[in-house]
Amino acid sequence: MAAVSFRNVRKVFGETVSIPSLDLDIRDGEFVCLLGPSGCGKTTTLRMLAGLEQPTSGAIHIGGQQVHELPPAKRDIAMVFQSYALYPHLTVAENIVYPLKKRGVPKGEWPAMLASIAQLLQLEPLLARKPKQLSGGQQQRVALGRALIRKPKVFLLDEPLSNLDAKLRAHMRAELIELHRRIGTTTVYVTHDQLEAMTMSTRIAVMNGGVLQQFGTPDEIYYRPANQFVAGFIGTPAMSLIDGDMQRDDHGFSVRAGGLLLRLPNSALRGDAAREVAIGLRPEDIVLGRGAHSARIKVVEPTGHESIVLMECGGATLCTRIASDVPLAAELRAGQDVPFDVTLARVHVFCRQSGLRQNRDDVNVTAIKRTRDAA
């Protein structure tokens, strides 16, 4: 097991600056997701850690050892890709022990190592099969087994579940969480799927355009997005972001945005908060049926246990959700005006120019999370 650090790491491909300068510290035993839209530099970052790409400049350390000049085989890492390419002519057992052969581990040690991996991943009944006799999920488990049999210091995965169907993906997600809990190996997991990142990570590194936007726990990323990009990227349906103007008086701040006038206490925002802002409201923080504000319903989308409601308010589009078992949910129709309230303690405020969060975040994130319960 080992900690991982990127220090001032830059990667340029020809004319393209893929990663301008990355600093990232992953603790020993963490499960970190690199999350971001396609092309944001996740794979490049992982490949530099694996040794499959050389950084243009900067330093990478694994377990305190500088590795960025070492070849992949000397780094004590294991990697699983989206296309996990098992050897079709070899059995499951032969596939799993393959890396041992390649690295010259004495043959006498293989059976015990194979047995422990097969048990860990529940592959015992499948050891004699060929890959084509396995389901997608079983093949993925064999690929994991092949990667883990050497007990690597760091385990790297690049979108390993994206070839699986939704149900199997959810199942494998749970298996990976459980697997990490048992083996505790430092894991770096690349995904563009925020659900995977939110459910599996100890911390998430959100990237955009090669730049790290925020590195924090799933709760920090969700309840305290560092900037407008993270705010808009995390959360389904996405947070409503509305441009507005902010004024400060003796009592606090008043923000006009769309058809909303929100009054926030002095303690809510930084003293030097910008005047030109965008406010962010998560769907669950807009509460329908009562309150000082009003909006016109545009669309009601039932999804089963809840409905997603799109509304128009002073030119701004608001997205909210309402549980299906609330009587009001059955009455909502497009074209109707509905009153609503906003959970003020959860209003996000961003500087329109820099995109940076303007909220004062000295409150414990767990306290913010519980605001709703208290309200």
Ligand X SMILES: Nc1ncnc2c1ncn2[C@@H]1O[C@H](COP(=O)(O)OP(=O)(O)O)[C@@H](O)[C@H]1O
Asked whether position 43 contacts Mg ion by CB under 5 A, the answer is yes
Asked whether position 187 contacts Mg ion by CB under 5 A, the answer is no
Candidates 20-28, 34-42, 119-127, 140-148; binding stretch for ligand X (CB under 6 A): 34-42
Asked whether position 16 contacts ligand X by CB under 6 A, the answer is yes
Q: Rounded to an integer, what distance in angstroms lies between the CA atom of residue 286 and that of residue 278?
A: 16
Which CB, 42 or 141, lies closer to ligand X?
Answer: 42
Q: Rounded to an integer, what distance in angstroms lies between the CA atom of residue 214 and that of residue 92?
A: 40
Measured from the Cβ of residue 272, the count of other Cβ atoms closer than 10 Å reads 7
Beta-bridge mates of residue 234: none
Q: Rule CB under 6 A: choose which of 18, 191, 227, 228 binds ligand X.
A: 18
One-letter identity of residue 319: C
Which CB, 43 or 214, lies closer to Mg ion?
Answer: 43
Q: Rule CB under 6 A: choose which of 13, 73, 165, 265 binds ligand X.
A: 13
Q: Residue length, the chain? A: 375
Which CB, 38 or 364, lies closer to ligand X?
Answer: 38
Candidates 37-45, 201-209, 277-285, 323-331; binding stretch for Mg ion (CB under 5 A): 37-45
- Considering CB distances under 5 to 8 angstroms, the limit depending on partner class, which of ligand X, Mg ion, none binds residue 111? none
Taking the complex as a whole, the smallest distance from the CB of residue 194 to ligand X amounts, in Å, to: 14
Nearest 5°: phi and psi at 132? -70, -10
Range 150-186 burial, b when 16+ CB lie within 10 A, else e: bebbbbbbbbbbeebeeebbeebbebbeebbeeeebb
Candidates 40-48, 92-100, 115-123, 271-279; binding stretch for Mg ion (CB under 5 A): 40-48
Which x/- pattern over 287-306 shows residues binding ligand X (rule: CB under 6 A)? --------------------
Which CB, 36 or 218, lies closer to ligand X?
Answer: 36
Beta carbons of 226 and 357 less than 8 angstroms apart: yes
Nearest 5°: phi and psi at 61? -120, 140
CA distances from 111 to 93, 114, 115 (A): 9, 5, 6
Beta-bridge mates of residue 351: 277
- Considering CB distances under 5 to 8 angstroms, the limit depending on partner class, which of Mg ion, ligand X, none binds residue 201? none
- Considering CB distances under 5 to 8 angstroms, the limit depending on partner class, which of Mg ion, ligand X, none binds residue 16? ligand X
Candidates 43-51, 130-138, 229-237, 330-338; binding stretch for Mg ion (CB under 5 A): 43-51
Taking the complex as a whole, the smallest distance from the CB of residue 35 to ligand X amounts, in Å, to: 9
Query: Encoding tokens for residue 90?
Result: 């070899």
Size of the site for Mg ion (CB under 5 A): 1
Candidates 42-50, 126-134, 340-348, 355-363; binding stretch for Mg ion (CB under 5 A): 42-50
Positions in 41-70 near ligand X (CB under 6 A): 41-44
Size of the site for ligand X (CB under 6 A): 11
Candidates 4-12, 38-46, 95-103, 263-271; binding stretch for Mg ion (CB under 5 A): 38-46
Which CB, 44 or 138, lies closer to Mg ion?
Answer: 44
Which CB, 81 or 110, lies closer to Mg ion?
Answer: 81
Taking the complex as a whole, the smallest distance from the CB of residue 158 to Mg ion amounts, in Å, to: 6
Which CB, 14 or 271, lies closer to ligand X?
Answer: 14
Q: Rounded to an integer, what distance in angstroms lies between the CA atom of residue 212 and that of residue 290?
A: 40
Which residues bind to ligand X, rule: CB under 6 A?
13, 16, 18, 36, 38-44
Footprint of Mg ion on this chain (CB under 5 A)?
43
